[in-house]
Amino acid sequence: MHAPQTSLQPDAYITGLIRDYYSKCRIPAPERVGSREFGVGTFERKIMKRHISFRDESAIQAYLSENAPAYVSYSTAYYRFPAGRPMETKGWTGSELVFDLDVDDIDPKNLACGARHGRSWVCADCLDGVKSETLKLIEEFLIPDFGFSEREIAVNFSGNRGYHVHVGKDSITQLGPEARKEISDYISGNGLSIDEFFPEAARGARLTGPRPDEKGWKGRIARKFISTMNKGPDALMALGADKSVANNIYRKRALIEMGINSGNWDMVYIKNKSEFWKGVLGNEAIAQSDRIDGNVTKDISHLIRLPDTVHGGTGLVAKRIASVSALAAFDPMASALAFTEGEMEINAESGNELVIGNKTFGPYKGEKAVLPIYAGVYLYLKGLASITTIT
């Protein structure tokens, strides 16, 4: 017989799980740990206390296993006095370059699942979408255009709906907010004018434009055009070309490609030019929102989730990914679980299937279910379940 557990305090229970996690798992200190500011939060508030500093990894570990905060964040900035307050007394000495990619920033047109499950839920397709965006940022911008090497780029899952990309190269730590804004604009294609790529042709002269082997946006635009053209008229129409133009381009694709390879765009005639190129740019740019606290790139005093710590909104780990090449195969819903042992009973009401730990749970219509702790805690923290019994 089960006695009703009226004294059950879900948050205290989950705090216990978090404490357990920190007493068993090593949390690597960020590089230059003594120059970083830390902040910790509760389930209600992600940053409840900040201006904390740690000497080394063992000090972090001791603090986390004792306090088991629901969220742990750290500064992307380095300071002479990281615990100093107010901010001006800290003595900023530099900042990493950080990109925060979130499901919410991806164009809903490119994530059809959103219409099915709403904005508050995140499914495997959402997570795959934001992972592709992260790979695109690294493989098509940070490495080829900015010249960073894989070794200088670190990626971690955010713990909920996205990925964080950190670049720690010495040459960029001194960049101020304006230079960071320029980088952000470059990758998101802000202020890019397509006319710059196609200089006005004199009467009778051929229309010159970018070649696929060119660096930066020029090459990116030429390559995107060629790959879209080769996919067929539908792909061209999806970017805004009208039907007859799309068919015409597709029919002459071999000749057109040959021309573009040497910068000759004479055979490409598009009626609604500006809209079409806007479509091309939108597809190639990295979706970065202008949320003030979200666009970490520009805000050098921002605190961001410490990799390998627990996210108090999901019970998942903001898991560090071993290398850029390991990102493609990474599945956070299987590899970023914090509470891997034990089961619990919940009363759940959730319209969506939850795929976690390589198993599928739900949907639930206000019913009791016994689940692995990682799944029950996930639904509870998302506000879709109450905890009834802990076994």
Shortest Cβ distance from residue 136 to Zn ion (Å)? Answer: 18
Dihedral sign, Cα of residue 231, residue 234, residue 237, residue 238: negative
Shortest Cβ distance from residue 114 to Zn ion (Å)? Answer: 6
Shortest Cβ distance from residue 138 to Zn ion (Å)? Answer: 22
* DSSP β-bridge partners for residue 77: 95
Shortest Cβ distance from residue 81 to Zn ion (Å)? Answer: 44
Binding flag, residue 33, Zn ion (CB under 5 A): no
Task: Please report how the helices 253-261 and 216-231 are oriented relative to each other, as an axis angle in degrees rounded to 10.
Answer: 170
**With CB under 5 A as the contact rule, which of the stretches 75-83, 123-131, 269-277, 339-347 interacts with Zn ion?**
123-131
Dihedral sign, Cα of residue 155, residue 158, residue 164, residue 170: negative
**With CB under 5 A as the contact rule, which of the stretches 67-75, 119-127, 203-211, 279-287 interacts with Zn ion?**
119-127
- Size of residue set near Zn ion by CB under 5 A: 4
Q: Do 274 and 48 form a contact (C-beta atoms < 8 A)?
A: no
Question: What string marks each residue from 64 to 103 as x (binds Zn ion by CB under 5 A) or -?
Answer: ----------------------------------------
Neighbours of 59 (CB within 10 A): 14
Shortest Cβ distance from residue 130 to Zn ion (Å)? Answer: 10
For the chain, the maximum distance between any two Cα atoms, rounded to a whole number of angstroms, is 91
User: What would the two tokens of residue 371 be?
Assistant: 């689940």
Closest CA to 45 of 12, 71, 80, 82: 71
**Looking at beta carbons only, is 140 or 353 nearer to Zn ion?**
353
**Looking at beta carbons only, is 59 or 355 nearer to Zn ion?**
355
Helix, strand, or coil (residue 164): strand
Shortest Cβ distance from residue 127 to Zn ion (Å)? Answer: 8
Dihedral sign, Cα of residue 97, residue 101, residue 105, residue 106: positive
**Looking at beta carbons only, is 257 or 353 nearer to Zn ion?**
353
User: What would the two tokens of residue 317 be?
Assistant: 């780990």
**Looking at beta carbons only, is 110 or 227 nearer to Zn ion?**
110
Shortest Cβ distance from residue 365 to Zn ion (Å)? Answer: 21
Length of the chain: 391
Shortest Cβ distance from residue 329 to Zn ion (Å)? Answer: 19
Q: Of 77, 98, 113, 344, which one interacts with Zn ion (CB under 5 A)?
A: 113
**Looking at beta carbons only, is 20 or 125 nearer to Zn ion?**
125
Q: What is the DSSP string of 320-343?
A: EES-GGGSTT--HHHH-BS--S-E
**With CB under 5 A as the contact rule, which of the stretches 62-70, 107-115, 289-297, 321-329 interacts with Zn ion?**
107-115
**With CB under 5 A as the contact rule, which of the stretches 18-26, 49-57, 118-126, 232-240 interacts with Zn ion?**
118-126
Binding flag, residue 123, Zn ion (CB under 5 A): yes
User: Which pairs count as long-range contacts for 270-273, CB under 8 Å and 24+ apart, including other chains?
Assistant: 270/241, 270/245, 271/242, 271/245, 272/240, 272/241, 272/242, 273/194
**With CB under 5 A as the contact rule, which of the stretches 49-57, 71-79, 117-125, 378-386 interacts with Zn ion?**
117-125
Q: Taking the CA of residue 381 as centre, how many other CA atoms within 13 Å lie in the half-sphere pointing to its CB?
A: 25
Q: Of 57, 125, 266, 353, which one interacts with Zn ion (CB under 5 A)?
A: 125
**Looking at beta carbons only, is 77 or 113 nearer to Zn ion?**
113
Binding flag, residue 126, Zn ion (CB under 5 A): yes
Contact residues: Zn ion, CB under 5 A: 113, 123, 125-126
